[in-house]
């Protein structure tokens, strides 16, 4: 019997488990508490998307007198063609039976309804991505057709990565959600509760922890809580995660606690440890950390422990045991390279640093602890955790889920990966700051980094300064060029409608983005409209940003705030044109089109020079090297040939790379020095050499180190893997 049951309610991701329960389970291991975790989302999907289930659904709909859309009528007419391949399609998307890809890519294997109308020429949309990815995309559209049928005919709240999301979004009061929870169980609810019931028949825990990262998990979480409290009243239920952390900090409605007993905020380790003391160990006069509960008929916030939060080094390694790791489904919804990373393949999730090392962006919830309290994890500890997860899951792919991974820590992690000789694939979120030099990007690539995502937000220096982003457009261009040159994919978050943003600035921002894509230094992007949140600097001082918020009485959720911008501009009207242009730019077309052509209303011409970004990239680089900079060689050991030329003793050093070879020629004495020094520059070296020590070593035998450092042979070595970090 487990002490604690950890649940992620439907729905988050199809391709990989949301990591919150794995993080808490890893922590519980360190305090000797037994636990079991369930991702109810993937379990519901696997029960729902079977030939048998959909045969029942189609048979049931045929007996009902429903007014069906043309799309639903078509799917129902082709019900046999939809049911027949479903089990094989799910297996294919789970990474099994990969030869099915060839059949999926034929014209008439899968039935096609409305989702396939958006299907353009796949060879254009996918380029060189290959048959497996084409097949995944077609299979995904087929599943989305079935999803549309479910929404119309079975459960209007269904969505692959969210469930009843509208009920949790900006719900200042609990009324609508409460009324929905009084209704009969939906078809999806019955599957969810059936799976939960089966788990309770195997083992009844003492404490259930519901992880609710998003609004689309909230409804199902409360359904689970209702089932547990009705059938197992002795079991206590707590809710935590991203949604409570951001939305429920002002909760006063006691009705929420008909479904759960506790709501915890921010880092979960200490609040959970104290709940375990209260519920499982039954200590006298228990104390709590950042926890809402009911006391004397009212919602009370308790934060009365003297204990400090656990340090990141103390929280343990995430534990993915119990999860159905080989049954997750990889999908490719749209032809966007970064979105395919999010939805395709299974990733081990880790965090390099708690919080954000920058912590100043004015649109961000920087007043909350999960961003405000910055605490990095030691590189060795991180790579220890990576090795533990590889051993446990068999997966070598890692997604570091940081707010913004710090460059210095990324460098240390990359060196530690190389030192241990690990073969891993990883990606993360960053700030486009100047510390991401060309050499650091090459090191990150060598360690297995394949992609980064970062916020360019509004490509306007005035607005970037107002946002307090700490970067300029020119700096972003140089950094994205460095990543791209190292063959690391770059995804940029883009924003429109920031307070006081003018129409001209929106147009100029689009022109900047056009140039970034045309030069090939950004490969992926996504526009989103500015949202005012209660915990951001803009939300806490709206007048300073020209914003008038429209507050409602808060008894439940409080995060997104309706507002009026002093400019009076309808920023939403730009949405379609911005997204349409970006889709084309991502596929390498439309650069020559006037910006006006993307919009069905008049916009002013851009004021940005058409070569602005190119000029930014042509700015002279600073060639000076700090004495403390580390010098690292990520290349191979050379093959040396000595020879004489005009009475000089020379040496040719032949270096082999994975794709080609190159040579440099030096004097015999300098060649011997280079050969002797290279092992000390290897990432495997226990003590990396600084630039000043390298200079001193050279000057023990030779003169004029600067001439040597900038000589043609050394410039070749720098291009091929002699890095200054």
**pLDDT score recorded for residue 334:** 66
pLDDT reading at 336 higher than 80: no
**pLDDT score recorded for residue 543:** 85
Both structure tokens of 488:
């690391």
Instruction: For residues 188-195, give the mean pLDDT.
Output: 96
Alpha carbons within 13 angstroms on the beta-carbon side of residue 386 total: 28
List all residues 6 or more positions away from 526 whose beta carbon is below 8 Å from its beta carbon. 336, 338, 491, 492, 493, 494, 582
Mean pLDDT over the full length of the chain: 91
Judge residue 250's burial from the number of C-beta atoms within 10 Å of its C-beta, 0-12 exposed, 13-18 middle, 19 or more buried. Answer: middle
Alpha carbons within 13 angstroms on the beta-carbon side of residue 434 total: 8
- Using CA atoms, how far apart are residues 283 and 274, in angstroms rounded to an integer? 10
Instruction: For residues 684-699, give the mean pLDDT.
Output: 92
**pLDDT score recorded for residue 551:** 77
**pLDDT score recorded for residue 231:** 97
Instruction: For residues 379-404, give the mean pLDDT.
Output: 94
Cα angle: 272, vertex 274, 276; to 5 degrees: 70
**pLDDT score recorded for residue 419:** 94
pLDDT, one tens digit per residue, over 559-600 is: 777 878 888 889 999 999 999 999 889 888 899 999 999 999
Alpha-helical (H) ranges within 210-312 are: 215-231, 242-247, 269-279
**For the ranges 66-70, 139-143, 303-307, 617-621, which has the lowest average pLDDT?**
617-621
Describe the chain by its helix, strand, coil percentages, rounded to 5. 45, 15, 40
Dihedral sign, CA of 471, 474, 478, 484? positive
**pLDDT score recorded for residue 429:** 94
Peptide bond before residue 11 is cis, with ω within 30 degrees of 0? yes
pLDDT reading at 333 higher than 80: no
List all residues 6 or more positions away from 723 whose beta carbon is below 8 Å from its beta carbon. 439, 440, 442, 443, 631, 632, 633, 634
**pLDDT score recorded for residue 355:** 86
Q: What is the DSSP string of 339-367?
A: HHHHHSS--EEE-SEES-SS---TTS-TT
Q: Three-class SS string for 125-176?
A: HHCCCCHHHHHHHHHHHHHHHHHHHHHHHCCCCCCCCCCCHHHHCCCCCCHH
Q: Three-class SS string for 685-699?
A: CCCCEEHHHHHHHHH
- Using CA atoms, how far apart are residues 230 and 228, in angstroms rounded to an integer? 5
Strands 262-264 and 291-295: antiparallel
Q: What is the DSSP string of 62-95?
A: HHS-----HHHHHHHHTHHHHHTTHHHHHHHHTT
CA distances to 155, 165, 448, 654 from 660, in Å? 57, 52, 20, 11
pLDDT reading at 470 higher than 90: no
The closest of 382, 368, 425 to 558, measured between CA atoms, is 368
**pLDDT score recorded for residue 224:** 97
Both structure tokens of 453:
């995502």
Judge residue 528's burial from the number of C-beta atoms within 10 Å of its C-beta, 0-12 exposed, 13-18 middle, 19 or more buried. Answer: middle
The closest of 407, 424, 378 to 483, measured between CA atoms, is 407
Put the strands of the sheet holding 722-724 in their side by side order.
689-690, 630-633, 722-724
- Using CA atoms, how far apart are residues 43 and 192, in angstroms rounded to an integer? 8
The closest of 331, 317, 453 to 390, measured between CA atoms, is 317
**pLDDT score recorded for residue 674:** 94
Instruction: For residues 472-486, give the mean pLDDT.
Output: 94
**pLDDT score recorded for residue 359:** 84
Radius of gyration (Cα) for the chain, nearest Å?
Answer: 28
Judge residue 291's burial from the number of C-beta atoms within 10 Å of its C-beta, 0-12 exposed, 13-18 middle, 19 or more buried. Answer: buried
pLDDT reading at 124 higher than 90: no
Q: What percent of the chain has pLDDT over 70?
A: 96
**pLDDT score recorded for residue 119:** 65
**pLDDT score recorded for residue 277:** 96
Alpha-helical (H) ranges within 237-336 are: 242-247, 269-279
List all residues 6 or more positions away from 18 whose beta carbon is below 8 Å from its beta carbon. 8, 12, 39, 41, 211, 213, 349
Instruction: For residues 343-349, give the mean pLDDT.
Output: 84
List all residues 6 or more positions away from 641 whose beta carbon is below 8 Å from its beta carbon. 651, 652, 654
Instruction: For residues 35-46, give the mean pLDDT.
Output: 97
Judge residue 617's burial from the number of C-beta atoms within 10 Å of its C-beta, 0-12 exposed, 13-18 middle, 19 or more buried. Answer: middle
pLDDT, one tens digit per residue, over 509-552 is: 999 999 999 999 999 998 988 888 888 888 888 888 888 887 77
Q: Which residue has the tokens 């609004």?
A: 215
pLDDT, one tens digit per residue, over 651-662 is: 999 999 988 999
């Amino acid at each position: 019997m487990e002490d604690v049951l950890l649940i992620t309610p439907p729905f988050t991701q199809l391709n990989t488990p949301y990591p919150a329960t794995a993080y808490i389970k890893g922590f519980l291991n360190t305090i000797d508490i037994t636990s079991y975790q369930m991702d109810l989302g993937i379990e519901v999907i696997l029960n729902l998307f079977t030939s048998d289930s959909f045969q029942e659904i189609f048979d049931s709909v045929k007996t009902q007198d429903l007014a069906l859309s043309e799309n639903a009528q078509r799917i129902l007419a082709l019900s046999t063609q939809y049911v027949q391949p479903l089990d094989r399609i799910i297996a294919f998307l789970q990474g099994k039976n990969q030869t099915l890809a060839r059949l999926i890519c034929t014209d008439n294997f899968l039935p096609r309804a409305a989702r396939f109308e958006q299907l353009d020429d796949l060879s254009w949309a996918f380029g060189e991505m290959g048959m497996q990815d084409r097949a995944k995309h077609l299979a995904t559209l087929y599943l989305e057709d079935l999803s549309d049928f479910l929404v119309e005919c079975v459960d209007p709240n269904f969505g692959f990565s969210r469930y009843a999301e509208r009920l949790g979004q900006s719900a200042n009061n609990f009324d609508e959600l409460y009324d929905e929870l009084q209704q009969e169980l939906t078809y999806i609810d019955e599957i969810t509760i059936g799976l939960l019931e089966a788990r309770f028949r195997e083992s009844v825990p003492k404490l259930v922890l519901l992880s609710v990262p998003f609004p689309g998990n909230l409804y199902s979480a409360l359904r689970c809580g209702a089932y547990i409290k009705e059938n197992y009243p002795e079991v206590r239920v707590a809710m935590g995660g991203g949604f409570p952390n951001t939305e429920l900090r002002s909760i006063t409605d006691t009705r929420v606690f008909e479904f759960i007993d506790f709501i915890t905020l921010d880092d979960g380790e200490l609040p959970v440890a104290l709940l375990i003391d209260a519920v499982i160990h039954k200590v006298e006069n228990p104390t709590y950390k950042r926890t809402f509960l009911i006391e004397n008929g009212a919602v009370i916030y308790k934060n009365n422990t003297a204990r400090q939060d656990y340090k990141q080094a103390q929280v343990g390694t995430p534990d993915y045991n119990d999860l159905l790791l080989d049954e997750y489904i990889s999908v490719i919804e749209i032809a966007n390279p970064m979105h395919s990373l999010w939805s395709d393949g299974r990733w081990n999730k880790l965090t390099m640093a708690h919080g954000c090392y920058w912590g100043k962006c004015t649109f961000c919830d920087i007043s909350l602890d999960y961003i405000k309290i910055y605490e990095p994890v030691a590189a060795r500890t991180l790579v220890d955790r990576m090795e533990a997860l590889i051993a446990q899951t068999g997966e070598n792919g890692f997604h570091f889920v940081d707010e913004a991974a710090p460059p210095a820590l990324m460098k240390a992690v990359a060196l530690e990966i190389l030192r241990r000789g690990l073969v891993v694939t990883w990606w993360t979120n960053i700030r486009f700051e100047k510390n991401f030099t060309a050499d650091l990007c090459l090191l990150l690539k060598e360690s297995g980094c394949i992609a980064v995502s970062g916020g360019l937000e509004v490509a306007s220096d005035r607005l970037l300064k107002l946002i307090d982003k700490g970067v300029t457009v020119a700096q972003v261009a140089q950094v994205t060029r460095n990543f791209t040159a190292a063959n690391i994919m770059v995804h940029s978050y883009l924003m429109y409608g920031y307070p006081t943003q003018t129409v001209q600035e929106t147009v100029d921002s689009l022109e900047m983005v056009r140039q970034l894509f045309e030069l090939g230094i950004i490969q992926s992007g996504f526009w989103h409209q500015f949202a005012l949140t209660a915990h951001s600097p803009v939300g806490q001082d709206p007048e300073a940003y020209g914003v008038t918020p429209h507050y409602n009485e808060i008894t439940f959720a409080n995060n997104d705030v309706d507002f009026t911008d002093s400019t009076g501009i309808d920023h939403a009207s730009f949405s379609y044109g911005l997204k349409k242009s970006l889709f084309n730019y991502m596929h390498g077309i439309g650069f020559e089109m006037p910006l006006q052509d993307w919009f069905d209303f008049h916009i002013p011409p851009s004021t940005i020079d058409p070569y602005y970004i190119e000029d930014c990239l042509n700015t002279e680089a600073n060639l000076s090297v700090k004495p403390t900079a580390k010098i690292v060689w990520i290349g191979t050991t050379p093959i040396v040939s000595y020879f004489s030329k005009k009475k000089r003793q020379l040496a040719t050093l032949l270096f082999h790379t994975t794709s080609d070879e190159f040579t440099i020629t030096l004097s015999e004495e300098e060649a011997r020095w280079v050969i002797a020094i290279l092992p000390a520059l290897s990432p495997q070296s226990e003590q990396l050499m600084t630039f000043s020590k390298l200079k001193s070593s050279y000057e023990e035998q030779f003169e004029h180190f600067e001439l040597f450092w900038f000589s043609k042979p050394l410039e070749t070595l720098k291009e091929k893997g002699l890095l200054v970090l």
